[in-house]
Structure 1
């Protein structure tokens, strides 16, 4: 495989896929978007086992 440019976009795709698998392949119904009063935003999900994960945007 050959890549070029300032970022290795394929590495980002692989990293996202690995994280998705590590978090038990969350379904879109599990996802939430939270906007805080200070304007920060986060995407998160709650898995069926009750575990939660969130990422600041």
Structure 2
């Protein structure tokens, strides 16, 4: 039977992928230093959230 060896995907999603994306910091002032720190933090959080989203989408393709 050719169908007996079909692959079954687990419906269990790892807990780290189910965690909500982190809240972004509020920009307290417009100084260059503060803006740079805020930007780096925001980009890092976005990239982490994006990679989790892509992993979930890929798991269900």
Query: TM-score with structure 1 length normalisation?
Result: 0.34
Query: Larger helix proportion, structure 1 or 2?
Result: 2
Query: TM-score with structure 2 length normalisation?
Result: 0.32
Query: Larger strand proportion, structure 1 or 2?
Result: 1
- Of the two, which has the highest radius of gyration? 2
Which structure's relative contact order is higher, taking Cα pairs within 8 Å and 6+ residues apart?
A: 2
